[in-house]
Structure formats: C-alpha cells, structure tokens
Structure 1
Amino acid sequence: MTDIDKLRRVFRTALNLPDGYDVDGLEYRAIDKWDSLAHMTLVAAIEDAFDIMIDTQDVIDMSSFGKAKELVERCLA
C-alpha cells in the first residue's frame, strides 16, 4: 500500500466514510462529517498512521485532502 492509499484509508476511517469514497478532492467542512471535532480526530489518526507529529500551524492549515497529502509527504521526506 502506498502512502497516498494509506492516507485515503485514514481519511475514510477517521471521518466514517464508506470504503471507496473519493476523498482526493475533499475539503474541510465540505461534508458534515468533517467538522472541528472530526478534524482533531483526523489529525491524531494521521499522526498515528505515519508516526509523525503535526505542529499547530499545520493543523490549522490542513483544510483539504490535498494539503494533508502535502503535509505527510513533507514530514516523511
């Protein structure tokens, strides 16, 4: 499984989305399930899945799947 596939799985699991749900274009608050509480759950799930620490500014800036992907790529580089 690639890191991007792993991130997709983390998004689906943390946001309680069905398997196969297309998260690639997902943005914060675009769906009811991604609210501020779910955002913190998502951040924790990403940190656990990739064994990284996300700083406060990145938590605030992570407003889409694309930004989360960039963040994970940067942390793993």
Structure 2
Amino acid sequence: MHTTEKFYEVIAGAIAVKKELIEEDLAYQQIPEWDSMSHLLIVEALENSYQIKFEFDDVLDMGTVGKIREKMKKYDVVVEI
C-alpha cells in the first residue's frame, strides 16, 4: 500500500503547487495550475512514480484527485486514505 502523502507530493510536484493544496475533492481546472497541459504532467508523474501506464479513457476520467486515486486501483496501486 502506498501513502497519501507520497501521492499528494507527486501531484503537487507535477503542477508546482504546495502539497497542502492537494485534497481529494480538488478538481481539474479548479485552480489555474491544473490545466490541460499540467493534467498530462500529473499523469506522467504518477506513471513514473508508481511504474504504471494509464489507458487513455482513464486519463480523461481523472477529474478530481479522488478519482485519480480510484483509477490507480485498476493498475494495482492502492493509496491509503
């Protein structure tokens, strides 16, 4: 099982914000730093950190941090809540 702290750090690092801004209900385009380009940076950072490869449909469905956590389960990556 992986930690929420690391999960949040990866996302925060990808979009260059403080980890404290990352929470489960943070949504795509809710903050200026999470736009379409940085969404792809989040995907890339998560793929590199957790050694997974997301399917295109999953990338499109990652509308919140919580949804990203859910999608990662599909790839056998469980992030503790």
Q: Which residue of 2 aligns with 1:39?
A: 39
Structure 1 unaligned runs (5+)? none
Distance 1:11 1:70 in 2: 15
TM-score normalized by the length of structure 2: 0.84
Aligned to 2:25: 25
Between the aligned residues of both structures, percent identity stands at 29
Contact 2:24 2:66 in 1 (8 A): yes
**RMSD of aligned residue pairs (Cα, Å):** 1.7
Aligned-residue offset at 1:62 = 0.6
Residues 1-29 of structure 1 show CA distances to partners (whole Å, capped at 9, x for unaligned) of 93322211111111111143342221000
Higher relative contact order (CA 8 A, sep 6+): 2
Q: Which runs of 5+ in 2 are unaligned?
A: none
TM-score, normalization by structure 1: 0.87
SS of match in other structure, 1:20: helix
Residue 41 of structure 1: CA displacement?
0.5
